[in-house]
Structure 1
Amino acid sequence: MTACAIEPSAAPGSDGPPPAGCAITAEGAYAARLARRGDCWYPERWTLDGPEPYAVPLPGNQPEEPGTEVQPMGDGRVLVHREATGRHFFSLLYPTGPGTGELPLGAVECPADTTALRLLPPAPGGERAYALATGARSTVLWQVAGGAFGPERLAEIPGRCSGGVWLDRTGRILAVDRETGGRTKAVVVDLERDGEVSPLLQIAADSDDRILLADPDSGLVLIRSDAPSPGRDRLGWGVLGSTLPVRFPECLRLPDCVVTPFAIQPGQALTPERCAVALRVDGALGSWVAVWRPAERQVRHLPAPEGWLTGAGLWTADGELRLPCATPQSPCGVARLPAPPDTGDARSEKTREPAPGEPSAPPSARRAPAVEGPPETPEPEAPAPSPQRPVPLQQAPLARLVTK
């Protein structure tokens, strides 16, 4: 095996984040990726919850296409999504003796106007898997694994949907970004109510408001919106159930870089503003890792470990960031990075030198230093909606995220 190459970066303002180097179950026990041997691609499962991580290759009867999607399930099997002649085939792979067992789940045949069918992020519990089939005017939500009779069509959502973030620990509440009327707004889909759709983000009538990441424990959500700067996307944060406004910190604006949050520290139920958030930063000189907390006004840059499966990782509740890595010398490894110390309100803290034993930022990271907003200038807030305009989560099954 060779180390996974760095994935291409998404352009600013694109509908989706840069692709991650592997997928990790919601509970963090397993990961899956496409590995490469020579010119051949094959699925690989990683076990992450043991004393040491280890990988199990799962080659099929023939090599996989480079675009094949793989996703780990909670029982250690790996879901594979293949496309051929306009049909989408789903199978579960598992190790069996010296070979690979395969359980075909069935196929989904999409209408001619379908532009994409892709897997959603791993669902909590790991028993089911879902996919979105995006058409010209509507999007179909499919359950592709975990059902009794193969892929099952769950709901048709008006508009073109992208993204996908789970808002609870049961796998019931899904948030997606829906494009209708030329604008994109995050909405909630309730899987236990036949795919009932309700508003999630409505920061301004003419803004594009997308949800990127959420933590069910604390309610912390990361969003991307052009509400504070029309025509220019900004990263912001809010808390489900809070009456505080959505914030758009200046420190998350890194010139000429794409910043994508990929993991939130769990277990911080009462202190969402103290949650450590891991960021993937893509710049002209490469990709690296950064850590930020909503309570602070700076981003701390860290060098990406060698062989990082770029954009993949998870936090432990006690603040350790675990990043899966693969190199020729160590084809299955996990880099463990402690979160920088929580300094509370860091309004007056300047960009600091690395502490003893802390790795210094790579050259690419040093070109994008921590940005600190002036103490006397409050962080921009989302414009207050008019009374007639729905506020975030006003009609959603969860608590409200108010922006006024």
Structure 2
Amino acid sequence: MAGGVPSGGRTALTASQARYKEGAVSGLLLKITRERTGRTQAQLAEDLHMDVTSIQGWETGRRPLIATQTGKLREVRRTLLRLGADPALLVLMDEALDADVVLSYALSGPPTPDLGDHPLAGWVVTRNATHMLAWALTGAIPAAISAICSPGPHRGPVADSPLLGVSERRAVFDHMRRAAELAHRAGEDGALLRRQALYLCSYDTATDTGAWLDQMRRLLPTLWRGEWTPFWADQRSVAASLTRHGDTDAIHAFIADGMGDLGERANLNYWAYWLGLDPVPQPNDTFMINRPDGAWDGVALLRRLTTRLAPDLGCIDLNVHSVWVLLGSRRGLLVADPHLNDDLADRVTLLLNSGVISAQSRAELESVHYGLRSHRM
């Protein structure tokens, strides 16, 4: 440790190892989108009045879409839409491009002393963008894509992934550890970069990741109910990250110590932004307490959070608490959608019988269960 901050090593890439596919995420999404229109690479090239090698380069990542002129990229999207591409996949292209920008920066070397240059320092990422990054770091297909391309009524599963090589993944995680450590030394000015880099590090399966995350958590200021600081969001993210490594104590402590009126408001505002229900891009975390009431749809958020009431999720207690607070703060949600109520009731019953939730979550779910029963009478 240096200066109170745990210091991770830096994996140096040779010139040959550094030839990563810096456009792999957006390139694969382009390939998936094209294939679902039924067009071949040659046919799309003809539609765009281009050489087929350009399409091949985009889709493999050898010719990164992040380096493509904005006008050409818009033309590609409009052409694909005209050819019958799924609009939801085209919308996801922005998140895929953002992921490639972050990966390209991380793989170019260690973070620079000017932390403001880092792509994670001035932009609050969403779940879709984070899942795009995780696609390259773990191979796990983003939920937003698998919902469209899953087997069944769709045209088949995603058969490929933009997964980086072992040395490339190690370089990205080492970069993120170093970025988090440097951001910690910058205090509040580095809070956003610190928490976002930490969260990405939680995807690292290295044996010391859990211990390193916990060390970084312990360096944060103590939270007090009723108080909100930029480190509140940091505490939330690192506690959620630790659940991926089997540590649920941190998330329980966060729920106990980090809420209060401001914390509850910040939590719901962050959920709405993270899940894409508040589309206004944010440069820092202060939006969590500054967004006005009505900035997002309460029913839509309840619908998204209901799907997260699953026994196998590490953050299940935070999810339960969020649903409980949302129902208490937005009166009338339980009468808005009977089908949503049925789904919520089934999931609440499953969790109450699961034995995986805390005593506080059980009490909150029993309250939700009572409310659901009352509205059915």
Smaller-chain TM-score range? Answer: under 0.3
Higher strand share: 1
Higher helix share: 2
Structure possessing the higher radius of gyration over alpha carbons: 2
**What TM-score do you get using the length of structure 1 for normalisation?**
0.26
